[in-house]
Amino acid sequence: MRMIRARDGFVMQKMLDEYMIIATGENADHFRKIIQTNETGAFYWGMIEKGTTFEKLIAVSMERYVDLDEPTARQDIGEFLESISPAIETIQ
């Protein structure tokens, strides 16, 4: 299983009710965008910062949202990971 983790130099900041993933340090020179997300995205980011897998994100999502089915969880999490792809990396 491949581990998903946050790239060095990316952090999450909360401003009011918004969560933003921003580049810091040298990364800020190359990636000048802000990735906005919601509370669920912030929850996933917390897991990603510690290192997690796609399967673990799905399992936790289905525990947290009891009406969520696995195909929908896979699609939603896949789309979320794609939206934050500059800020994450996968390792073996």
**Residue 78, in any domain of the structure:** yes
**Residue 63, in any domain of the structure:** yes
Which pLDDT score, from 0 to 100, does residue 16 have?
86
Whether the CB-CB separation of 80 and 43 falls below 8 Å is answered with: no
**Residue 92, in any domain of the structure:** no
- Radius of gyration in angstroms for the set of CA atoms belonging to the chain, rounded to a whole number: 13
CA 40 to chain centre: 9
Which residues lie below 8 Å from residue 24, measured CB to CB, with a gap of 6+?
A: 9, 10, 11
pLDDT tens digits, 34-60: 889 999 999 999 999 999 999 999 999
**Residue 47, in any domain of the structure:** yes
Q: Residue 81 is part of which domain span?
A: 3-87
**Residue 36, in any domain of the structure:** yes
Number of domains in the chain: 1
pTM of the complete model beyond 0.85: yes
pLDDT bin (cut points 50, 70, 90) of residue 28 is low
